[in-house]
Amino acid sequence: MSISKFKYFFDCCVGSWMAQRTYHNLTHQEVERSLTEFTIEPLSSALKTKVLIDNQQPDLPNINDLCGYHLGF
Protein backbone atom coordinates (compact mmCIF):
# COMPACT_ATOMS: atom_id res chain seq x y z
CA MET A 1 0.00 0.00 0.00
CA SER A 2 1.35 3.43 -0.88
CA ILE A 3 1.82 6.13 1.76
CA SER A 4 -0.60 8.39 -0.13
CA LYS A 5 -3.46 5.93 0.47
CA PHE A 6 -2.51 5.71 4.14
CA LYS A 7 -2.45 9.53 4.43
CA TYR A 8 -5.77 9.83 2.54
CA PHE A 9 -7.44 7.38 4.94
CA PHE A 10 -6.40 9.37 8.02
CA ASP A 11 -7.20 12.70 6.37
CA CYS A 12 -10.75 11.38 5.91
CA CYS A 13 -10.89 10.55 9.65
CA VAL A 14 -10.24 14.16 10.75
CA GLY A 15 -13.22 15.53 12.68
CA SER A 16 -15.47 14.77 15.64
CA TRP A 17 -16.79 11.26 16.06
CA MET A 18 -19.17 9.30 18.27
CA ALA A 19 -19.04 5.52 18.78
CA GLN A 20 -21.91 3.61 20.39
CA ARG A 21 -21.62 0.03 21.57
CA THR A 22 -24.01 -2.43 23.14
CA TYR A 23 -22.83 -5.32 25.30
CA HIS A 24 -25.13 -8.30 25.90
CA ASN A 25 -24.53 -10.58 28.88
CA LEU A 26 -26.83 -13.48 28.11
CA THR A 27 -25.96 -15.35 31.32
CA HIS A 28 -27.36 -12.54 33.49
CA GLN A 29 -29.86 -11.16 30.96
CA GLU A 30 -28.13 -7.75 31.10
CA VAL A 31 -27.60 -5.12 28.43
CA GLU A 32 -25.02 -2.36 28.79
CA ARG A 33 -24.70 0.58 26.44
CA SER A 34 -21.56 2.66 26.04
CA LEU A 35 -20.89 5.94 24.21
CA THR A 36 -17.48 7.40 23.36
CA GLU A 37 -16.97 10.81 21.78
CA PHE A 38 -13.59 11.70 20.28
CA THR A 39 -11.87 14.05 17.84
CA ILE A 40 -9.06 13.51 15.37
CA GLU A 41 -6.95 16.50 14.34
CA PRO A 42 -3.81 16.78 12.21
CA LEU A 43 -0.64 17.69 14.11
CA SER A 44 1.05 21.01 13.44
CA SER A 45 4.69 21.02 12.33
CA ALA A 46 5.66 22.21 15.83
CA LEU A 47 3.92 19.22 17.46
CA LYS A 48 5.46 16.79 14.96
CA THR A 49 8.88 18.19 15.87
CA LYS A 50 8.07 17.79 19.59
CA VAL A 51 7.09 14.14 19.04
CA LEU A 52 10.42 13.51 17.31
CA ILE A 53 12.39 15.28 20.06
CA ASP A 54 10.48 13.49 22.85
CA ASN A 55 11.33 10.18 21.18
CA GLN A 56 14.99 11.14 20.70
CA GLN A 57 14.70 11.20 16.91
CA PRO A 58 16.40 13.75 14.66
CA ASP A 59 14.41 16.64 13.23
CA LEU A 60 13.55 16.10 9.57
CA PRO A 61 13.61 18.71 6.82
CA ASN A 62 10.41 17.30 5.26
CA ILE A 63 8.41 17.40 8.53
CA ASN A 64 5.37 18.89 6.74
CA ASP A 65 5.18 15.81 4.50
CA LEU A 66 4.91 13.43 7.47
CA CYS A 67 1.55 12.19 8.71
CA GLY A 68 0.65 13.00 12.27
CA TYR A 69 -2.69 13.07 14.07
CA HIS A 70 -3.95 13.82 17.57
CA LEU A 71 -6.71 11.65 19.03
CA GLY A 72 -8.59 13.40 21.82
CA PHE A 73 -11.37 12.12 24.07
What pLDDT was estimated at residue 63? 86
Separation CA 46–CA 48 (nearest Å): 5
DSSP count for the chain of H helices, then E strands: 2, 3
User: Under the phi-then-psi rule, with left for phi > 0, alpha for psi from -120 to 50, and beta for the rest, what region is 48?
Assistant: alpha
Please write the tens of the pLDDT for every residue from 11-66: 999 999 999 999 999 999 999 999 999 999 999 999 999 999 999 998 888 888 88
- For 66, residues 6+ apart whose C-beta sits below 8 A from its C-beta are 48, 60
CB contact at 8 A, 21 and 31: no
